[in-house]
Structure 1
Amino acid sequence: MAFNVQNNGKSVPVTLRQLEKLGLYRVTTASPFEKGHLTFEGVLFRDVLKLVGLEGEDSVVLRAVDEYVQIIPRQDWTEGPLLLATRQNGKLLTRRTQGPTRLVYPLNDHPAFDTPVHKPRWVWLIKTLEPGG
Structure 2
Amino acid sequence: MQTRTITRWLATTVLLGGLMAPWAQASEATILTLVAPDGSSKSLKRSELEALPQVSFETGTPWTQGRHGYRGPLLGDVIRQISPKAGRVNAVALNNYSHEVRLSDYEGYPLILAMSEDGKPLTRRNKGPFWLLFPFSSAPKLAEDPNVQASMVWQIVRIEVLD
* Fold equivalence (TM over 0.5): yes
Matched, 1:17 2:47: yes
Q: Show the counterpart of 2:7.
A: none
> 1:75-126: per-residue Cα shift (whole Å, max 9, x none)?
1343311111011111111222221111012112233421222111111111
If the length of structure 2 is used for normalisation, what is the TM-score? 0.73
Q: Which structure shows the higher helix fraction? A: 2
Aligned partner of 1:40 in structure 2 is 70
Q: How many Å apart are 1:127 and its aligned residue?
A: 1.6
Kept in 1: contact 2:79–2:161 (CA 8 A): no
After TM superposition, list the pairs within 5 Å mapping 1:1-133 onto structure 2: 1-7=30-36, 8-53=38-83, 55-114=84-143, 115-133=145-163
Q: Looking at secondary structure, tell me which structure has more strand per residue.
A: 1
Contact 1:45–1:77 (CA under 8 A) maintained in structure 2: no
Q: How many residues align?
A: 132
> Which amino acid counterpart does residue 88 of structure 2 have in structure 1?
S
> Any gaps of 5 or more consecutive residues in structure 1?
none
- Deviation string 1:38-60 (CA, Å, 9 cap, x unpaired) is 2111111111122232x522200
Identity of aligned pairs, percent?
A: 27
Structure 1 segments of 4 or more deviating over 6 A?
none
The residue type paired with residue 95 of structure 2 is D
TM-score norm. by structure 1 comes to: 0.88
Pair member with larger Rg: 2
SS in 2 for 1:79: coil
Higher relative contact order (CA 8 A, sep 6+): 1
Where in structure 2 are there 5+ consecutive unaligned residues?
1-29
